[in-house]
């Protein structure tokens, strides 16, 4: 036993003496254009262009606000009419601005999305071209009704669950994404916001609607999904095409796997061609509201 212990101690010292300090310098990765582009039925397109950061970048407000891409040539087309978008800015706080591209407000007949139409996006900046296509599908899958109920567990009497009855038409390929808003607050996507109809095709079913989340804030996984008494809740229920579904399905899986050493690597599926990141998505939108009594 003593001889074995002595061997282990000697081996540990020898192994430690064989260690070699390794250092290496990571190359700075190319900053890519990031596209966040959407078009909804009845609304003008919205395109936000920014640049990606290095993996080890220290994210600061100044870095974020300086990442917007200015002076890009952005055009959207429905196959018949093309519209060159104009860059605008929107002030938020501390003198900072958010920059985006949309239709020129001085045009008398603005370009708006329509159901059952396909759209192409063309972006040219710094001598490079990026393209994408999307479809605003029919509003086929819809919410029939919305209500609230008490949760089955927990002692907080103010928390409630919002339920919806959803009608899925026969035939596979109905993809949806949803958002919620409380009062006059922004529409935030659910923690898992996209779903297909592989299991529930052609059926009417009741499903809980979890409260949307702000991924820029800390999320309390024990409480995030609940609404509260006195809330006025609006659900934004969107039919989307498969490319938009695939982008958010892989993006949200990537979000949820951050920090998990047992998760599998995920490639986010973008529909932008030309080497940019992000997506161009079409949304057929339905709204349902509910006032929850105090």
* 97 within some domain: yes
Which pLDDT score is estimated for 31? Answer: 86
CATH of the domain at 44: 2.60.40
The whole model's pTM is what? Answer: 0.86
Whether 121 and 149 map to the same domain: the answer is no
Copy the structure tokens of residue 16: 């430690």
Question: Parallel, antiparallel, or unpaired: how do β-strands 82-84 and 33-40 relate?
Answer: unpaired
Whether 119 and 181 map to the same domain: the answer is no
| DSSP line for 58-119 | ---HHHHHT-B--S-EEEEE-SS-EEE-EEEEEE-STT-EEEEEE--TT-SS---B-TTEEE
Question: Parallel, antiparallel, or unpaired: how do β-strands 277-291 and 33-40 relate?
Answer: parallel
Domain boundary among 136, 171, 198: 136
Which pLDDT score is estimated for 15? Answer: 42
* 4 within some domain: no
Which pLDDT score is estimated for 203? Answer: 98
Whether 81 and 121 map to the same domain: the answer is yes
Whether 130 and 148 map to the same domain: the answer is no
* 22 within some domain: no
Whether 155 and 238 map to the same domain: the answer is yes
- Distance from C-alpha of 267 to C-alpha of 174, rounded to nearest angstrom: 23
* 26 within some domain: no
Nearest Cα neighbor of 233 from 256, 209, 203 is 209
Copy the structure tokens of residue 143: 């919410």
Whether 169 and 191 map to the same domain: the answer is yes
Provide the 10 A C-beta neighbour count for residue 140: 16
Which pLDDT score is estimated for 53? Answer: 82
Which pLDDT score is estimated for 10? Answer: 39
* 279 within some domain: no
292 secondary structure, DSSP code? P
- Distance from C-alpha of 279 to C-alpha of 256, rounded to nearest angstrom: 19
Could you give the number of structural domains in the chain? 2
How crowded is the C-beta side of 124, counted as CA atoms within 13 Å? 5
Whether 130 and 152 map to the same domain: the answer is no
* 275 within some domain: no
273 secondary structure, DSSP code? B
Contact (Cβ atoms closer than 8 angstroms) between residue 235 and residue 162: yes
Residues near 116 by beta carbon (within 8 Å), at least 6 away in sequence: 135, 136, 137, 138
Domain boundary among 136, 163, 193: 136
The stretches of 158-277 forming alpha helices (DSSP H) are 242-257
In DSSP terms, which residues pair with 283 in a beta bridge? 40
Which pLDDT score is estimated for 14? Answer: 40
Per-residue pLDDT tens listing for the chain (294 residues): 444 443 433 334 444 455 555 454 555 567 899 999 999 999 999 999 999 987 666 667 777 778 999 999 999 999 999 999 999 999 987 778 899 999 998 887 789 999 999 999 999 999 999 999 999 999 999 999 999 999 988 767 899 999 999 999 999 999 999 999 999 999 999 999 999 999 999 999 999 999 999 988 888 888 899 999 999 999 999 999 999 999 999 999 988 766 555 556 678 999 999 999 999 999 999 999 999 999
Whether 129 and 156 map to the same domain: the answer is no
Which pLDDT score is estimated for 217? Answer: 86
Whether 167 and 130 map to the same domain: the answer is no
* Enclosing domain of residue 213: 142-242+284-291
Whether 165 and 208 map to the same domain: the answer is yes
Domain boundary among 136, 159, 189: 136
Which pLDDT score is estimated for 39? Answer: 98
End-to-end CA distance of the chain: 73
Whether 150 and 62 map to the same domain: the answer is no
* Long-range Cβ pairs for the range 263-271 (8 Å, 24+): 269/243, 271/132, 271/133, 271/134, 271/243, 271/244, 271/246, 271/247
Whether 155 and 175 map to the same domain: the answer is yes
* 93 within some domain: yes
Which pLDDT score is estimated for 98? Answer: 92
* 68 within some domain: yes
Contact (Cβ atoms closer than 8 angstroms) between residue 173 and residue 242: yes
């Amino acid at each position: 036993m003593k001889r074995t212990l002595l061997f282990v101690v000697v081996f540990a010292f020898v192994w430690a003496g064989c260690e070699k300090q390794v250092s290496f310098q990571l190359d700075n990765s190319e900053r890519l254009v990031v596209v966040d582009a959407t078009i909804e039925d009845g609304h003008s397109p919205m395109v936000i262009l920014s640049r990606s950061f290095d993996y080890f970048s220290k994210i600061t407000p100044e870095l974020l606000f300086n990442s917007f891409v200015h002076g890009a040539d952005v055009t959207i087309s429905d196959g018949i009419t093309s519209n060159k978008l104009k860059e605008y800015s929107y002030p938020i706080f501390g003198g900072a601005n958010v920059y985006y591209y949309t239709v020129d407000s001085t045009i008398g007949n603005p370009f708006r999305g329509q159901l059952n139409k396909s759209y192409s996006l063309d972006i040219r900046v710094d001598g490079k071209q990026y393209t994408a296509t999307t479809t605003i599908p029919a509003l086929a899958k819809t919410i029939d009704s919305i209500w609230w109920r008490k949760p089955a567990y927990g002692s907080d009497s103010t928390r409630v669950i919002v339920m919806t009855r959803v009608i899925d038409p026969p035939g596979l390929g109905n993809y949806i994404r949803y958002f919620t808003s409380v009062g006059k607050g922004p529409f935030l996507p659910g923690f898992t916001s996209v779903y297909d109809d592989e299991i529930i095709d052609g059926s009417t079913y009741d499903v809980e609607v979890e409260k949307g989340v702000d991924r820029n804030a800390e999320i309390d996984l024990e409480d995030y999904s609940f609404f509260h008494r006195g809330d006025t809740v609006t659900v934004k229920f969107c039919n989307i095409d498969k490319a938009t579904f695939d982008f958010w399905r892989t993006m949200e899986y990537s979000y949820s796997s951050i920090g998990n050493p047992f998760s599998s690597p995920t490639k986010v599926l973008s529909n932008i061609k030309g080497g940019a990141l992000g997506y161009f998505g079409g949304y057929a939108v339905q709204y349902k509201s509910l006032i929850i009594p105090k």
